[in-house]
Chains A and B, each alone.
Chain A
Amino acid sequence: MLSLLATSDFNPVSEFTDFINHPYVDLPLGLDINKGVVYLWLSAATAILVPLLIIRKGLKAKPSRWQTFLELVYDTAYTQIAKAGLPEEGMRIWFPYVGTCFIFIWAMNVIGFIPLPFSGESVQLLGVDVPKLQIYAASANLSVALTLTLVTFVATHVEGIRYNGVVGYFKSWIPAGLPPVRPLRAGSVGAAILFGLIAVVEVLSQFVRLVSLSFRLFFNMLAGHLVIAVFLGVGALMAASLGNAAFAVHIIGFPMGVALYLLEATLIAALQAYIFAALSAIYIGGAIHPEH
């Protein structure tokens, strides 16, 4: 990610697509093992192993610091995310899903702010090839965010149909209180037009959810990484046009970059995971009990 500063040709999009063309292991059907896949594996391993190790160390009545942390995460997932969105009968199936979403996306986002040597480039240091460190989040990739969103999207409609029936579920999209459409009566044309308009808007809104949920996660991480890169390297970016004066810009830019890094790695990484899980719970809960 930060390697973009070395090149004068700044193309923000290529930085997030180039690694697809340089996989570590080339497999057929596009199942390559590239940087994004390695980061996903790392995130999954972290999300599974860290809670498991804390539990294996033994849970005590007088909790250690790690146990307190884990209990806080579980409590947030249970009361703030699942309870706030899901009805009672959906908790048994969908609390594990939204809780997993929360922990997995959080792990993915936080790992995205740890400098790791997966860039595939190296630098000569005292005669030894040292791999370049870089920060890259798997969630700063539309495929990852969209796949997670699609799981929520499919789950929403499957649960809606399972609990309300096909007719009942799609009827629930139309808000109550519209004038009824009765053919061959006065005012039926206006009612039909109104019904049609609202039906179109409601169907559209279901697909806008798909876009907004995936874009929010994807662009938050992408823009976070870009902003950090720009501030940390603002001197290098401007060196071509400013010459030695670029150093003065760098003195202001570097602390800003560090501050933004801390904000993104602590607050935004956790917040985006929380939001994704909470909105998943609200969408699924809204499909199970449409009148709410």
Chain B
Amino acid sequence: MAVQGDVNTAAKTIVLGLATGFGAIGPGIGVGIIFGKTIEAVGRQPELRGQLTGMMWLGFALTEAIVFYALGMAFVAYAIT
């Protein structure tokens, strides 16, 4: 099959996907650790559940935001090149 279309756009699209995908690896592991550790902690001390849940969501959001740095940079690269 012959290659059709704009190679530049294809490369940019592939890089957009790769950057977001690689950027999601670390936060994915981090979010897993946060939820796992919270479940462990609640298992040990169920009476602290309320406090731990609040801290869990805070940690979740802080970690999750790192995906969006990768996504944001990928969009910027897509838009300006």
Which A residues lie at the B interface, using CB under 8 A?
A: 11-13, 80, 84, 212, 215-216, 218-220, 223, 271-272, 274-275, 278-279
Contacts and interface: CB of A to CB of B under 8 A. Distances in A.
Contact of B78 (A13, A216, A220, A271): A13
B68 A219 contact: yes
Q: What bracket does the count of chain B residues touching chain A fall in?
A: 10 to 19
10 contacts: A11-B79, A12-B75, A12-B78, A215-B68, A216-B68, A220-B68, A272-B61, A275-B57, A278-B58, A279-B58
Interface of B: 54, 57-58, 60-62, 64-65, 67-69, 71-72, 75, 78-79
Contacts, number: 40
Contact of A13 (B64, B68, B75): B75
B10 to A, nearest CB: 13
A215 B78 CA distance: 18
Contacts of A11: 79
Contacts of A271: 57, 60-61
A275 B61 contact: yes
B8 to A, nearest CB: 14
A12 B76 CA distance: 10
A219 B69 CA distance: 9
A265 B60 CA distance: 18
A39 B54 CA distance: 30
A216 B75 contact: no
B61 A216 contact: yes
B57 A223 contact: no
B61 A219 contact: no
Given A12-B78, A13-B78, A212-B65, A219 B58 contact: no
